[in-house]
Amino acid sequence: MSGETLILNAGSSSLKFAIYIDEDDTPEVSGLIDRIGAGEAEIALKDASGQPLPAGAPGSVADHGEALMVAIRAMAKHYPDHTIKSVGHRVVHGGPEFAAPVLIDDAVEEKLMALTPLAPLHQPHCLAGIRAARAAFPDARHIACFDTAFHRSMPRLNELYAIPREHFDAGIRRYGFHGLSYDYIANALRDRHPDLSQGRVIVAHLGNGASLCAMRDGRSVATSMGFSALDGLAMGTRCGNIDPGVLLYLMDQGMSSAELSDMLYRRSGLLGLSGTSSDMRTLLASSAPEAAEAAAYFVQSVRRGIAELAAMLGGLETLVFTAGIGENAAAIRDAICAEMGWMGIRLDTAANDQGEPIISDSESGVQVLVIPTREDLTILSAVRAGG
Ligand code: ADP
């Protein structure tokens, strides 16, 4: 076989992997190793039709480098003749410099390492995956694709925080995330709705992590996430917008930065407000008032964010929903749009319930679309384009 591309996506305690062959957009084999560094890890492996493949029990997996070795061994059992020619790496942070995918060499790897303080919970895992993959496939091309890169088209004003300006030069600025998803949606819009893609667009990426991106001519103009992936919308376990005064107060009360970090990243958002679950499906199925309040807060934060970004765009022609909640939760899409008639948003209830690609009605001033995201395809096309 020829032209195999391995795509790696390192999360904080997981590694997603997939092999694509030649020009095929469906992975030949894909999988996930979960619970890395947390006792007994788990592995799931799927074939091209999405059917599970036996992968055994990996036991404890110390880090993302070891996870990659486990993944390679599991895939080799079913596909022994694969030769990896290229590896595409999802990298959370590209800092101010990386505005496009880049071929990884030692110098690039060092630059990515230097960005670790900007994303201490994620960058080390991406780097562990890169190091292990470069060692395992020394003759392959390794391409880094960044979650921040898509937003480097934002005007400087939208990258600023109103703190003393020397901090901006030291890297404290709004970077934005979910860029691989937004890049995919921008391309999908260009292909499917070229007329709309040139206009004022807001994309709502609503998954466990959630953010909004305002686009003009298919490029990011503003986004709800900022310096970190905590800002903006309420999320599964992350807080979203919060008055920094709250954090100062909690620190004065004796909370350490590690405790604050744990609270803001892992115990807030839908989980923090509901007290039971970070999962929107679970909350929607619950009769507990706290679950309903958590979902209502999420909806409110999305509406607030859409209005803010529409103001920055000077209007809105297209709203796109994507990711787990955006693609599947008709009730949440409905709740978000219900009171936005003043912005010209009107849903076709039946189309929304059925999850049609276009869910606005014929009177709506804003076209409302549902486009399933494929972050892996953004990486794949960068690798195929040569990085
Ligand atoms: P991640 O950010 O981890 O990639 P996803 O994009 O997979 O997350 O989104 C996960 C979220 O999507 C969860 O809150 C899940 O409950 C929600 N979700 C998925 N399917 C549905 C559904 N049918 N109804 C409501 N929420 C859903």
Which sequence spans correspond to the domains of the chain? 4-146, 194-375
CB-based contact 91:101 (threshold 8 Å): no
What pLDDT band is residue 248 in, cutting at 50, 70 and 90? very high
Place 2 in a pLDDT band, splitting at 50, 70 and 90: very low
pLDDT at residue 199, as a whole number: 97
Residue-wise pLDDT for 266-312, tens only, equals 999 999 999 999 999 999 999 999 999 999 999 999 999 999 999 99
Share of the chain above pLDDT 90, in %: 89
pLDDT at 3 over 90: no
Instruction: Tell me the pLDDT of the chain averaged across its residues.
Output: 95
Average pLDDT over residues 85-99: 96
1 pLDDT more than 90? no
Q: Please choose from 90, 281, 336 the residue to mutate so as to test ligand 1's pocket, defined by most ligand atoms within 8 A of CB.
A: 281
**Which residues participate in the annotated binding site for substrate?**
90
Atom of ligand 1 at shortest range from CA of 332: 25
- pLDDT (tens digit, 9 = 90+) per residue, 15-74? 999 999 988 899 999 999 999 988 889 999 999 999 999 988 888 999 999 999 999 999
For ligand 1, what atom is nearest to the CA of residue 209? 2
Average pLDDT of span 123-141: 94
Q: How far is the CA of 327 from the centre of ligand 1 (A)?
A: 8
Whole-angstrom Cα distance, residue 373 to residue 368?
Answer: 15
Rounded to whole angstroms, how far apart are CA atoms 143 and 315?
37
Considering only residues 9 and 80, tell me which one the structure prediction assigns the higher pLDDT.
Answer: 9
pLDDT of residue 250: 98
Confidence of residue 11 (pLDDT cuts 50, 70, 90): confident
In sequence order, what DSSP letters do the residues of 299-324 get, joined into one string? Answer: HHHHHHHHHHHHHHHTS-SEEEEEHH
Q: What is the mean pLDDT of residues 93-97?
A: 95
Q: What fold, for 4-146?
A: Nucleotidyltransferase; domain 5 (3.30.420)
Structure tokens at 274: 């509901």
pLDDT exceeds 50 at position 328: yes
Percentage with pLDDT > 70 across the chain: 99
Reported confidence tier of residue 215, pLDDT bands at 50, 70, 90: very high
147 noted as active-site residue = yes
Q: Distance from the CA of 2 to the center of ligand 1, in angstroms?
A: 35
In the block, tokens 């803001």 appear at 264
Compute the average pLDDT of residues 67-96: 92
* Long-range pairs of 16-25 with CB within 8 A, sequence gap ≥ 24: 17/68, 17/71, 17/75, 18/376, 19/75, 19/79, 19/82, 19/84, 20/380, 23/384, 25/374, 25/377, 25/380
Residue numbers in the known binding site are: 9, 16, 90, 205-209, 279-281, 324-328, 375
Return the best residue to mutate from 280, 332, 353, 375 for the ligand 1 pocket (most ligand atoms within 8 A of CB): 280
Q: What is the pLDDT of residue 387?
A: 56
pLDDT in the model for residue 39 = 83
147, 183, 231, 376: which is the annotated catalytic residue? 147
Pick the CATH number of 194-375 from 3.40.190.80, 3.20.20.70, 3.30.420.40, 3.30.70.20: 3.30.420.40
Residue with CA closest to ligand 1 atom 24: 329
- Around ligand 1, the residues with Cβ closer than 6 Å are 207-209, 236, 279-281, 284, 323-325, 328-329
Report how far residue 287's alpha carbon sits from residue 246's, in angstroms, rounded to the nearest whole number.
30
Strand partners, 316: none
Pocket probe for ligand 1: among 32, 265, 284, 325, the residue whose CB has the most ligand atoms within 8 Å is: 325
Q: What is the pLDDT of residue 368?
A: 98
Binding residues for ATP are 16, 205-209, 279-281, 324-328
